[in-house]
Amino acid sequence: MDSSAQPPGSVVGYVRAMTGQLITVSGGALQAAYLHGSAVLGGWVPGRSDVDMLFVTADGIGGGVVERMGQALCEAAGRCPGRELECSVVTVAQAGRPAPPWPFVLHVAAGPGKPGRMVHSGSRSPGDADLLMRYAVCRTAGWPVCGPPAGELIGVVPRRVILDHLAGQLAWGIEHASEAYAVLNACRALIYLTDGKIVSKIAGGEAVLGRGTGPAEVIQRALGQQRGAEPDQPPAAGAVGFVLATAAALRSAAGEHAG
C-alpha cells in the first residue's frame, strides 16, 4: 500500500454524497462506510477502476431498510466516477467476527449505463467469500467516509485464509478474466506472500517487475493493458504459467500455516 496516497477528489465527493443518502434512508442504522480498493491503494485509473465500498450497519436491520439502501445504491451507481460501483453491506456482528461462510446483508454492483445487480443475503448463497479480502483491505487501508477506523469494527482475517483465497482467485482469473487482471493479481499476491502487504494491481506489478521476480515482458504488457495503453486480451501462455506458479506458491504457504 502507498500510505501517502489520497483518494481521488471525484471519488471522495461521490462516496460522501452516497453515504449521506444511505444514512438518511437507513434511519441512522448505518454505522460506518469505508472506501477501499484502487482508490485508496494508489492504483486508480479513471474509467477502468471500480469504486469499492464496504458499509457496516447496526445488527438486526430490517428488510425494508435493506431494500431502501439497495435502491439508493443502485441509483448512486449511475453517477459512479469509475467503471462500476461495487459494494457490500454487512452488520457490526458480521464485520467484527469475520468467518466462513462470510455472511452479508446486501451486495450491489452497477455502473453508469449498466443495470444494477442487487443480491440479498441468502438469495444465492449463505455468504460471499470475496468479503474476506474486503475486510483485509479495509483493515489495512480503508478510508473511513464515516465511522471509526476500520480496525475498530472489522476483525482480523487469518493470513492462511487470505493466502488460500488469493490462490483461488488466480485460478479463477485464468479461466474468466483478462490477462491484466490475472497477471497483476498474481503480482500483488506475491507481494502479500513475501511482504505481508496489500497493494494495488499496478503497485504489485511495478514491485515484482522491479525485483525481477516475474516475467518482465508479461508484466509490462499487463501494466499497459491495465492503464489502457494496450488492448485487453486473454491470458497468453507465459501469463498462464506465471499465474499458476504463483497460485501454487500461495497454496504451499497456506498449507505451512495450517500445519
For every residue of 209-239, DSSP letters joined together read: HHHT-S-HHHHHHHHHHHTTSS---PPPHHH
Helix (H, G, I), strand (E, B) or coil at 81: coil
Q: Could you give the percent of the chain with pLDDT greater than 90? A: 87
CA-closest candidate to residue 35, choices 21, 18, 23: 18
Secondary element (H or E) of residue 51: strand 51-57
Which residue positions in the chain have pLDDT lower than 50? 1-4
pLDDT on residue 97: 97
Q: Using CA atoms, how far apart are residues 5 and 1, in angstroms rounded to an integer?
A: 9
Tell me whether residue 126 is exposed, middle or buried, using C-beta atoms within 10 angstroms of its C-beta: 0 to 12, 13 to 18, 19 or more.
Answer: exposed
Beta partners for 30? 57
**Which phi-psi region, left, alpha or beta, contains residue 97 (left: φ > 0; alpha: ψ -120 to 50)?**
beta
Q: Using CA atoms, how far apart are residues 257 and 259, in angstroms rounded to an integer?
A: 5
pLDDT on residue 1: 38
pLDDT on residue 206: 97
Residues ≥6 apart with Cβ < 8 Å to 110? 73, 74, 77, 78, 80, 84, 85, 116, 117
pLDDT on residue 118: 73
Q: Using CA atoms, how far apart are residues 1 and 246, in angstroms rounded to an integer?
A: 20
Which three cell numbers mark 256?
Answer: 505451512
Give the number of other CB atoms < 10 A from CB of residue 86.
21
pLDDT on residue 119: 80
Cα angle value 146/147/151 (rounded, 5°):
125
